[in-house]
Structure 1
């Protein structure tokens, strides 16, 4: 860390002091250095290095948007890893385990938030203009309440009249004894409850993806995790391809 402070200018040194994760020091260093260069030479954009420093030093206070110009594909590359700019700087200064923009949402006060359909050329990277979404996937959309209680077969009495041809059989003592015996009643109750359970079983939603693919070089992951939503995925590994399907 001391070598970094001697090498970088005062703005980079100060911003490095607010980073959260020490495990990715080189990556955070490059990300902050790139950001300071963009903020110092940008034109017609919003926010300065000083505005960013204020936001980091005063997390609970109102702060300005700090923007940079979007790239052609909307992502920023730092040491062979690409991601949306606001994800990178939220990862540096707030959530080291952050992976995707689907885990974030902008606060209402942000004038330049990241949105898939946002056509502005600027994007706010102020980490305190975003909130973490803890469960962005479909796995948390299970029914919030328990199923309705299964009604007891004793809760209501239903009168069923047999067909006219069976009236004499139904009214005979042998039939009445068999129908009202404890074993017959117990069997009917079990069948009734089984039908109720099957008809009221909750249907759980299917996930948005069926596999997660990550790429590593020398035990270091490169890029963000790819969530496979298509039925067939083709992977190119050196000069060979591998097809994976459900």
Structure 2
């Protein structure tokens, strides 16, 4: 009975793989048969409860917070090659073309980030790593800029929370500091404002926990549910964009960095002070595809950026601690929308730096 139940769970997992292959339009091939043999051998090493958890994970497609699925570290043989267990699981149920050379980032919610003995095989505890190259300004860096880019520079205090598109965000400092929508100890690390076109929707949310989910629909999800804030809308564009937000994004504060992970089925678009070109009027907006993580703010880099920034390049209100993220629709020089206030659904992430 025990063996037949385990065998049934393994077969169910492989059936999910077959269904996803049909979605991806993949054909049965000798490599697929080889992959099946290695995968079934790996799955037999999992306990029955772990198999149940893995089935739940694959069926939900990362829609809920899920447990780790642990296996001892060590590569598996795949023909003449070898593959790590977590790479194999990600390839089976998320990214069929994934290779050992692909760069993955473990999500902060995973409990095995620093585990030396085990690796997490939950494919939704991993993301593809996006590494945007920071363009070199026309004419190159000046000697003083080059020095400051390689040194740690102390920064003078900034005051006020300013929106780069709409001026001062219409929420008082008192409200920001007393809104305890997410419980936690110590000062908050950011506040989040949700916008539809030029209209702020709902109150500013203050974030104390290291990470937060921002989503439209997420079964039993914790975080910022945009659907609760939204009201009836006559704009068809806004309604369609709301539907595309889905599982949304995860924002996480990790040491001296802020990361965004795209959980939705559509791209999100990001503009951040530490991803922009210093002293350039060219707006850098990065497209983050589903399943990808992007470092959207670097505190150390922000110190340097503050020192080399020249006010003569400012065309309007500017906040060096404000990140803007648009759902499904891009803006800027490469898009028909020139300003984020033309995007149907977007957020401001207002970092608590010397505010």
- TM-score, normalising length: structure 1: 0.45
**Whose relative contact order is higher, 1 or 2, with alpha carbons under 8 Å and at least 6 apart?**
2
**Which has the larger strand fraction?**
2
Which structure: larger Rg? Answer: 1
